[in-house]
Amino acid sequence: MFDLLGTALSSRLLLGTAQYPSPAILADAVSASGTSVVTVSLRREMAGGRAGEEFWSLIRSLGTRVLPNTAGCHSVKEAVTTAKMAREVFGTSWIKLEVIGNHDTLQPDVFGLVEAARILSEDGFSVFPYTTDDLVVAERLLEAGCKVLMPWCAPIGSALGPVNIPALRSMRAQFPGVPLIVDAGLGRPSHAATVMELGFDAVLLNTAVAKAADPVGMARAFGKAVEAGREAFCSGMLEPREVAMPSTPTIGRAVFS
């Protein structure tokens, strides 16, 4: 079990719900992944009218916890308003806070993020901020009231995987007691395993599953990779070394003369 802010979760994989080929495939992918938390963009789905309503009932039927997000928000005001609406709609004070700062890279506006995080934390939200791997921004987010951090490993939708492993490693070392969830940019199950091996608490991803040729199979693969990475981290991995060490004992070997 994974204790996330006092909630026991059966999986360390959090899954996005956008861009699936069909609602049925989304539901099957969620089930195959083993996730117990899905994230939903209130802003995008509300724009969908009747389709939006059907989407909500599908999400409710999944039996998972919902982590609403403020995807698509580019200002503090937009993000705060969206978060408040999400609290009403989903009856949860969890919010994945996105304040996008750059149209092309979808890089977070870390200044707006800290400001919005402070406003929402003071209003009783549990804020899950989508941030960069910058340690100073991370400090500011914690000071603003965040109890969990969601650093990217690459731009949203890029599928690049962890492009700056030293930065992620140092974030993990700097905040040993803070739940850290890698969010965005994962492309392959091996990427998820890699960040879990670094000691991250969980991962959140969307595009790599939703846009796979077989989203259900890919969701299952990511679920396994997250578990494998976590188990490896907890089992004490060897440090790599540059010299050979025989893995078979040489004492008592047969002598041919």
Ligand X SMILES: CC(=O)[C@@H](O)[C@H](O)COP(=O)(O)O
What single letter denotes the amino acid at residue 14? Answer: L
Single out the segment in contact with ligand X by CB under 6 A; choices: 1-9, 120-128, 135-143, 201-209: 201-209
- What are the CA-CA distances from residue 34 to residues 3, 25, 89, 215 (Å)? 16, 14, 25, 13
Say if residues 28 and 3 touch (Cβ distance below 8 Å): no
Annotated binding site for 1-deoxy-D-xylulose 5-phosphate: 157, 184-185, 206-207
Q: Which of 174, 169, 129, 132 is nearest to 148 (CA)?
A: 129
Name the residues annotated as catalytic.
Answer: 96
Residue number, 152 or 233, with CB nearest to ligand X: 152
- Footprint on residues 136-165 left by ligand X (CB under 6 A): 156-157
CA distance 155 to 202: 18
Q: Which of 184, 195, 216, 221: binder of ligand X (CB under 6 A)?
A: 184
Which part of the chain contacts ligand X (CB under 6 A), choosing from 81-89, 161-169, 205-213, 232-240? 205-213
Angle between helices 23-33 and 50-61 (to 10 degrees): 20
Task: Tell whether residue 185 is a contact of ligand X (CB under 6 A).
Answer: yes
Residue 38 dihedral angles phi and psi, to the nearest 5°: -115, 150
Residues that contact ligand X, how many (by CB under 6 A): 18
Q: Is 207 in the site for ligand X (CB under 6 A)?
A: yes
Among the listed ranges 55-63, 116-124, 139-147, 199-207, the one in contact with ligand X (CB under 6 A) is: 199-207
What the block records as the tokens of 55 is: 């989407």
Q: Provide the 3-class DSSP secondary structure of residue 158.
A: coil
**101 belongs to the binding site for ligand X (CB under 6 A):** no
**Separation CA 48–CA 249 (nearest Å):** 65
Question: Which of residues 30, 66, 71, 212 is near ligand X by CB under 6 A?
Answer: 71
Per CB under 6 A, 11 contacts ligand X: no
Check binding of 16 to ligand X (CB under 6 A): yes
- Which positions lie near ligand X, rule CB under 6 A? 16, 18, 39, 69, 71, 96, 130, 156-157, 183-186, 204-208
